[in-house]
């Protein structure tokens, strides 16, 4: 051969998964195909199969990568913080992360087994609740509630026409015949179209309401 090509660093399972996340973020989960992924990695499609067994394994892998991001940017859990602050920070981090990867929550439905980062995330959150005095059964209910809220909120955010501050949503809703959907029209005109409205701002309303309710439930089973 003529000269030494700058040897491209070899493909790894990690590079495959990170490439998949980048592609899904940029062009949507439907555009994530083995062929386009290989293209992005500068490699032929079949090279991918040397590092993952199947596309299913890629989907499992990128979901776990995303869960690994949750709590990464959070200041270390100052032990003086109450459980409320810790849970709120983690829930807010989960929502931030999942909103950046809007394809992740829908994928949960079809995943078989959660990955290591996902399990660690769940374990960490449960730890906060248990240490705060939540009995096991209440901690289970609390955690299912918190996760449901975060997942569901993210799904709704992802389903919005765009991330614009209500503009498109309001235009659509405001164009309905008022006699057909009177309350949707009212909501569009009197709320969503107001300057400064964002759907996302409602996240903290629900989160704080849930935390208040959990605090009361905890006091009921374990009076201070």
Residues making contact with DNA (CB under 7 A)? 10-11, 32-36, 43-47, 49-51, 54-56
Reduced to 3 states (helix: H, G, I; strand: E, B; else coil), residue 133 is coil
Rg (CA), the chain: 22
Q: What CA–CA distances, in Å, run from 31 to 25, 34, 116, 157, 165?
A: 10, 9, 26, 20, 27
CA distance 200 to 117: 26
Q: Which of residues 8-67 bind a second copy (CB under 8 A)?
A: 28, 30
CA distance 95 to 101: 10
Among 156, 163, 164, 171, binds a second copy (CB under 8 A): 156
102 contributes a contact to a second copy by CB under 8 A: yes
Q: Which of residues 166-205 bind a second copy (CB under 8 A)?
A: 172, 176, 180-184, 186-187, 190-192, 199, 202, 205
Minimum gap (Å) between residue 106 Cβ and a second copy: 4
Nearest to 103 by CA among 68, 62, 142: 62
CA distance 122 to 104: 16
What is the CB neighbour count within 10 angstroms for residue 75? 7
Residue 56 contacts which entry, a second copy, DNA, none (Cβ below 5-8 A, type-dependent): DNA
Q: Let me know if 205 is exposed, middle or buried by CB neighbors in 10 A (0-12, 13-18, 19+).
A: exposed
Given the complex with DNA, which of 55 and 84 has the nearer CB atom? 55
Q: Which of residues 124-153 bind a second copy (CB under 8 A)?
A: 126-127, 130, 136-137, 139-141, 144-145, 147-153
218 contributes a contact to a second copy by CB under 8 A: no
- List contacts with a second copy (CB under 8 A): 28, 30, 102-103, 105-113, 119-120, 122-123, 126-127, 130, 136-137, 139-141, 144-145, 147-153, 155-156, 158-159, 161, 172, 176, 180-184, 186-187, 190-192, 199, 202, 205-206, 209-210, 212-214, 216-217
């Amino acid at each position: 051969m003529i000269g030494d090509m700058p040897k491209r660093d070899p493909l790894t399972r990690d590079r495959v998964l990170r490439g998949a996340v980048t592609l899904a973020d940029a062009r949507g989960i439907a555009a994530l195909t083995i062929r386009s992924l290989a293209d992005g990695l500068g490699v032929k499609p079949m090279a991918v199969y040397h590092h993952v067994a199947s596309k299913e394994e890629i989907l499992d892998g990128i979901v776990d990568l995303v869960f690994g991001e949750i709590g990464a940017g959070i200041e270390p859990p100052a032990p003086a913080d109450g459980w409320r602050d810790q849970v709120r920070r983690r829930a807010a981090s989960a929502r931030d992360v999942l909103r950046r990867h809007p394809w992740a929550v829908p994928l949960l439905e079809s995943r078989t087994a959660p990955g290591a980062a996902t399990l660690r995330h769940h374990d960490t959150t449960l730890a906060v609740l248990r240490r705060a005095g939540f009995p096991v059964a209440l901690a289970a209910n609390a955690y299912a509630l918190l996760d449901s809220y975060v997942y569901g909120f993210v799904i709704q955010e992802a389903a919005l026409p765009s991330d614009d501050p209500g503009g498109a949503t309001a235009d659509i809703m405001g164009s309905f015949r008022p006699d057909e959907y009177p309350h949707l029209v009212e909501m569009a005109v009197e709320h969503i179209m107001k300057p400064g409205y964002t759907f996302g701002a409602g996240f903290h309303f629900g989160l704080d309401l849930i935390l208040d309710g959990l605090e009361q439930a905890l006091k009921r089973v374990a009076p201070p």
